[in-house]
Amino acid sequence: MAKSRTRKKSVKDNLPPEVKEMTDAATGYIKFWTTRELWRMQQEQQTPICLPVKNGYKIGIYTLKTNKNNTCEVFDINHESIHTFNNKVSAILYTIYTIKNKLPKAWEILALDKEINKNYADVQAMRRGQKYALSKKDYETVDIRQARLEIAQKQLEEAQDKISKIHLHAKYNKIWL
């Protein structure tokens, strides 16, 4: 296993420039080879390959980074962020459906997760707005915020129900296989 010279630079690094170039080239080749082999293995098999990595998972050509706030960010093969999902199950299902070329289902998961994120932010904003309006004794604004809050909560619940139905469907149909 080659040690990456670009990861942590040491102050005591006294290697000759030729050795530095050779180790950097070897490290780059090993990373490229690993990515290429994972891609090749994914193309040969029908089931997605899932590998646990340091801070998440590698599913086929996608990398999932799990965060401390229970969100999961999906990166493509070029390490560009696709979307930050509300939960890990949605992120995993999105990558599996994309790998299996079931794109309408993957897009539906992505759209529902975006709707959940939007409505959750709306609910939080409406609650803060209500609290502020109550402190200012602006009861008209409180009533308006209450109506908008109820709408956002209803839309949030509907989107969460739809995504949970997709999760259950995938679980019972064993979509991973």
More confident residue, 134 or 36: 134
**Sheet strand arrangement including 50-53:** 50-53, 56-59, 62-66, 72-75, 81-85
pLDDT tens digits, one per residue of 57-111: 888 888 999 998 889 999 988 889 999 999 899 999 999 999 888 999 999 999 9
Q: What is the pLDDT of residue 50?
A: 81
How far CA 124 is from CA of 133, 142, 156, in Å, comes to 14, 14, 12
Strand (E) positions, the chain?
A: 50-53, 56-59, 62-66, 72-75, 81-85
pLDDT interval class at 49 (50, 70, 90): confident
Which pLDDT belongs to residue 33?
Answer: 86
2 within a domain of the structure (yes/no): no
Q: Each residue of 167-176: pLDDT tens digit?
A: 999 888 887 6
- pLDDT value of residue 28: 87
Q: Does residue 70 fall inside a structural domain? A: yes
Give domain status of residue 1, yes or no: no
Rounded to whole angstroms, how far apart are CA atoms 125 and 119? 10
| 35/51 same-domain check | no
What is the reported pLDDT for 12? 55
Q: Are 156 and 119 in contact (CB under 8 A)?
A: yes
75 forms beta bridges with: 63, 81
| Parent domain of 51 | 45-172
Domain identity same for 25 and 110? no
Residue 131 near residue 141 (C-beta atoms within 8 A): no
First to last CA, the chain: 32
Is 177 part of any domain? no
pLDDT score, position 13: 64
Label residue 155 left, alpha or beta by phi (over 0 means left) and psi (-120 to 50 means alpha). Answer: alpha
Q: What is the pLDDT of residues 112-149, one digit of tens each?
A: 999 999 999 999 999 999 999 999 988 898 899 999 99
